């Protein structure tokens, strides 16, 4: 009867029982041994339990799960500081629009059936991404004119040979021939540059509804070290696109450093197009309409003169003040200290009137901004 619970014990319970027995044995040895021997017995008791290889792998986060599962253990602690940045919802909308635009433009560019799909959008360290690029490949550096910063577009070797094969009249249904171990020729570089310009035009069009921007092709590199546009530790957004042309195709990766996207960061944080943060357009419109109906006192200033305070104090009944204003001179219409209009004085229906001849609103724009 005593053995039945032992058989039903799980692996974890059996390991816990072994740990408990080992620690109890070490404690008994310390109580019976001398002071000098107690340290050795305690050390022996603590070292009696040795981790197995499976336990070490589990602690380090290796094995025991599929590749799609997140790392655990020490690997999770190490990787937790790698790429933990805010999500940009509108960026996913932009790349989804880019996929549709590229499908059309690449079909026109290659005169072939092209399918473009978005694999994933991730955040990476710039240095880690450069180290992970499989060579040979071509890296196109392009600049966002309005944002005054650069980004990166990577074309892998499979895509390079596929686009060369398609544009030079290769047969359909046959895989592109790859010749490794040699630098890319001038013809291959020129054809890839044409492809890059088509893709950049589509990327610019994908950003247009959000923020108009022009992406200008800068240079084409084959060595990742020469395509450095940011510090290795800087974070970046990486979009991986898959392009299939029947039996041919490859990958195009677009990398935007977060510093490049900073000018439109607030727009990319929106959950949907046109989202307003903390603003109510209904109340804004209502307030604007009410302000337009507000009464505003205005003064017609015939003329002004500056004089010492002592002369003003010495004024008496009958004293005269010369304004140096002629009947045909313009007078100022003011609201407070701000001059809004200028015009001529006259009369209309037995009332003194002013005919507006000049608008001074544009000159006082700075004053209105301060108000």
179-233: pLDDT as tens digits: 566 788 888 899 999 999 999 999 999 988 888 889 999 889 888 888 888 888 8
> Where a domain ends, among 55, 79, 103?
79
Same domain, 29 and 113: no
Range of 59's domain? Answer: 3-79
Reading across the β-sheet that carries 299-301, which strands appear in turn?
299-301, 331-335, 338-348, 351-359
Task: Tokens for 342, please give them.
Answer: 């200028």
Q: Which residues contact 114 (CB under 8 A, 6 or more apart)?
A: 103, 106, 107, 243, 244, 245
Does the reported pTM lie above 0.85?
A: no
Same domain, 130 and 236: yes
- If DSSP codes are grouped into helix, strand and coil, which group holds residue 116? strand
Q: Is residue 280 part of a domain?
A: no
Query: Which residues face 251 on adjacent strands?
Result: 242
Number of domains in the chain: 3
Same domain, 59 and 150: no
For the cut 90, the answer to whether the pLDDT of residue 287 exceeds it is no
Instruction: Assign 354 a pLDDT band (cuts: 50, 70, 90).
Output: confident
Same domain, 121 and 241: yes
Instruction: Assign 81 a pLDDT band (cuts: 50, 70, 90).
Output: very low
Radius of gyration of the chain (CA): 39
Same domain, 116 and 261: yes
Same domain, 107 and 255: yes
pLDDT at 77: 54
Q: Is residue 35 part of a domain?
A: yes
For the cut 70, the answer to whether the pLDDT of residue 330 exceeds it is yes
Same domain, 356 and 337: yes
Considering only residues 142 and 33, tell me which one the structure prediction assigns the higher pLDDT. Answer: 142
HEC per residue, 263-310: HHHHHHCCCCCCCCCCCCHHHHHHHHHHHHCCCCCCEEECCCCCCCHH
Q: Is residue 178 part of a domain?
A: yes
Q: Is residue 179 part of a domain?
A: yes
Q: Is residue 21 part of a domain?
A: yes
> Where a domain ends, among 249, 268, 287?
268
Arithmetic mean of pLDDT, 90-113: 88
> Where a domain ends, among 79, 106, 136?
79
Instruction: Assign 69 a pLDDT band (cuts: 50, 70, 90).
Output: very low
pLDDT at 246: 78
Q: Is residue 273 part of a domain?
A: no
Q: Which residue has the tokens 């229906």?
A: 349
- What's the rounded Cα separation, in Å, for the pair 25 and 44? 10
């Amino acid at each position: 009867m005593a053995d039945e619970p032992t058989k039903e014990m799980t692996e974890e319970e059996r390991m816990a029982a072994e740990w408990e027995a080992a620690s109890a044995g070490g404690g008994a040895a310390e109580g019976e041994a001398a002071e000098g021997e107690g340290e050795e017995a305690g050390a022996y008791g603590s070292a009696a339990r040795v981790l197995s290889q499976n336990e070490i792998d589990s602690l380090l986060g290796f094995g025991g799960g599929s590749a799609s599962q997140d790392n655990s253990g020490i690997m999770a602690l190490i990787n937790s500081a790698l790429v933990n940045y805010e999500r940009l919802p509108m960026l996913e909308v932009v790349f989804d629009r880019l996929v549709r635009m590229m499908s059309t433009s690449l079909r026109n560019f290659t005169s072939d059936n092209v399918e473009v799909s978005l694999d994933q959008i991730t955040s990476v360290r710039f240095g880690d991404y450069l180290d992970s690029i499989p060579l040979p490949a071509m890296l196109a550096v392009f600049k966002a004119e309005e944002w005054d910063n650069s980004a990166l577009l990577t074309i892998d070797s499979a895509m390079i040979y596929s686009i060369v094969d398609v544009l030079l009249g290769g047969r359909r249904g046959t895989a592109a021939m790859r010749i490794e171990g040699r630098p890319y020729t001038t013809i291959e570089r020129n054809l890839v540059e044409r492809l890059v310009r088509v893709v950049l035009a589509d990327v610019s069009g994908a950003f247009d509804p959000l923020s108009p921007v022009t992406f200008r092709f800068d240079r084409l590199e084959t060595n990742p070290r020469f395509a450095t546009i940011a510090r290795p530790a800087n974070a970046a957004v990486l979009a991986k696109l898959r392009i299939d042309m029947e039996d041919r195709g490859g990958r195009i990766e677009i990398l935007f450093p977060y510093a490049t996207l900073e000018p439109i960061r607030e727009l990319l944080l929106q959950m949907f197009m046109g989202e307003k943060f903390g603003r109510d357009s209904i109340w804004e419109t209502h307030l604007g309409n009410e302000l337009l109906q507000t009464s505003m006192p205005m003064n017609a200033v015939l003329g002004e003169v500056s004089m010492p305070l002592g002369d003003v104090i010495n004024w008496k009944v009958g004293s005269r003040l010369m304004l140096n204003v002629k009947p045909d001179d313009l007078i100022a219409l003011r609201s407070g200290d701000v001059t809004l209009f200028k015009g001529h004085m006259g009369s209309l229906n037995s009332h003194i009137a002013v005919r507006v001849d000049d608008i001074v609103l544009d000159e006082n724009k700075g004053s209105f901004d301060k108000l």
